[in-house]
Amino acid sequence: QVQLVESGGGSAQAWGSLRLSCAASGRHFSSYVMGWFRQAPGKGREFVAAINGKGDSTDYADSMKGRFTISRDNTKNTVYLQMNSLIPEDTAGYYCAADPVMGRHYYDCWGQGTQVTVAS
């Protein structure tokens, strides 16, 4: 298993940008699919994006395509989520997750989350 710690959350104005990072400790980071999920107040956890172990295959929720970019640096055991053109509806807790399998299911390992607040 890996342990995951997110950072980079905070406040932004509408149409602004934020970059989230997720640092992983543990072994075999490059063997894990890494995903980002989010949860807004009163709503369920929502898939945002995922990237495979090599970093050459990605998947995005429709509402994030063209605005968010997931990437990873296996030399630093870190995955990133670049968020551009933020809108108030992006306000949520953002969670990093790891799993052996690519997909939009509930992943095996989770970080504690980082809050993103977008003001209109």
Tens-binned pLDDT, residue by residue, of the chain (120 aa): 899 999 999 999 999 999 999 999 988 999 999 999 999 999 999 999 999 999 999 999 999 999 999 999 999 999 999 999 999 999 999 999 999 999 999 999 999 999 999 999
The answer for residues whose C-beta is within 8 angstroms of residue 42's C-beta and 6 or more apart is: none
pLDDT of residue 1: 82
pLDDT of residue 26: 83
pLDDT of residue 104: 95
Q: What is the DSSP letter of 104?
A: S
pLDDT of residue 18: 98
Residue 80, Cα to own-chain centre: how many angstroms? 7
Residues 6-33 as b or e (16 or more Cβ within 10 Å = b): bebbeebeeeeebebbbbbeeeebeebb
Residues composing the chain: 120
The 3-state DSSP class for residue 90 equals helix
